[in-house]
């Protein structure tokens, strides 16, 4: 009876003993190994990195090239601007020198004429001519003085001086001298006239010169309707022709030739006189 009871207890404890043994085995067993890492192709990775670096360098080089091209275009535009300004100033200096030389020649001629006039007879005919010429010069001078702009002030000053001297000679009954001086005054008034600006509204970006410039065409050139090769040719100007320049735009100069034809010529085809 005791043996039967003991066997019954041992059989009942078997599951518990087996579980304890299994738990101890699991705790003492090493942890499972991690799954193997994927194999990395180092050569492919290096090639991709190199390609990306090359693409970045190429993009940077393109940006630098674009910036350089922009800087070059800006420098070229600035150079054209400076060349045109130098041409304008040189032409102004030449015009001033020409006026000074002309004034000196007129002064010399006036002195000689006045000396010769003293020897002339004082006739009623010369008196009438002198009075008429003086009146014409005075009327023209007053018309110029009524204008705020559009005349050469230096020439106007010389005309005023000649008229004053003419009046003095007329009062002295030196009618020949008075006539000559009045004629000289009219010549100065003609020189004071500034050619009118070309007809038509100015183009966007067109810059007028401070005063009209007298320039020379250094080679045969075409006058175009606008500042660009795409515009129609309106006339041809031969080499050596003198033209009057009034404004500029993008390296082109608006000019009028001696026939009164107005058009545009590229600045490289023009020189100072």
- Residues of the chain with pLDDT > 90, as a percent, come to 12
pLDDT of 45 reads: 62
The model's pTM is 0.41
pLDDT of 254 reads: 93
pLDDT of 255 reads: 93
Closest CA to 158 of 117, 132, 190: 190
pLDDT of 42 reads: 60
Burial 207-245 (b: 16+ CB within 10 A, else e): eebeebbbbebeeebbbbeebeeeeeeeeebeeebebbb
Q: How far apart are CA 92 and CA 196, in angstroms?
A: 17
The burial class, CB within 10 Å (0-12 / 13-18 / 19+), for 158 is: buried
**In the chain, where the domains are located:** 53-107+199-273, 120-194
- pLDDT tens profile 145-191: 766 455 567 778 888 888 898 888 888 888 877 888 888 888 888 77
> Given 2.40.390.10, 3.40.50.10790, 1.10.268.10, 2.30.30.40, which CATH number is that of 53-107+199-273?
2.30.30.40
Q: Which residues of the chain register pLDDT less than 70?
A: 1-45, 110-125, 146-152, 194-201
């Amino acid at each position: 009876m005791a043996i039967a009871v003991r066997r019954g207890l041992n059989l009942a404890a078997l599951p518990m003993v087996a579980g304890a043994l299994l738990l101890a085995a699991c705790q003492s067993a090493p942890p499972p190994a991690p799954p193997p890492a994927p194999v990395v192709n180092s050569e492919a990775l290096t090639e991709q990195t190199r390609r990306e670096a090359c693409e970045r360098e190429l993009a940077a080089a393109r940006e630098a090239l674009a910036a350089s091209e922009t800087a070059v275009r800006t420098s070229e535009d600035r150079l054209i601007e400076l060349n045109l300004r130098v041409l304008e100033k040189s032409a102004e200096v030449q015009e001033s020198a020409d006026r000074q030389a002309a004034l000196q020649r007129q002064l010399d001629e006036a002195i000689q004429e006045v000396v010769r006039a003293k020897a002339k007879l004082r006739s009623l005919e010369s008196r009438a001519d002198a009075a008429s010429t003086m009146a014409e010069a005075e009327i023209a001078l007053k018309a110029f003085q009524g204008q705020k702009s559009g005349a050469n002030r230096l020439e106007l000053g010389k005309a005023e001086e000649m008229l004053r001297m003419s009046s003095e000679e007329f009062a002295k009954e030196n009618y020949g001298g008075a006539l000559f001086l009045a004629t000289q005054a009219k010549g100065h008034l003609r020189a004071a006239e500034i050619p009118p600006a070309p007809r038509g509204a100015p183009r966007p970006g067109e810059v007028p010169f401070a005063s009209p410039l007298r320039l020379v065409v250094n080679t045969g050139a075409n006058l175009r309707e606008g500042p660009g090769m795409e515009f129609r040719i309106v006339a041809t100007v031969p080499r050596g022709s003198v033209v009057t320049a009034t404004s500029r735009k993008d390296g082109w100069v608006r000019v009028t030739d001696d026939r009164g034809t107005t058009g545009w010529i590229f600045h490289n085809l023009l020189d100072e006189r």
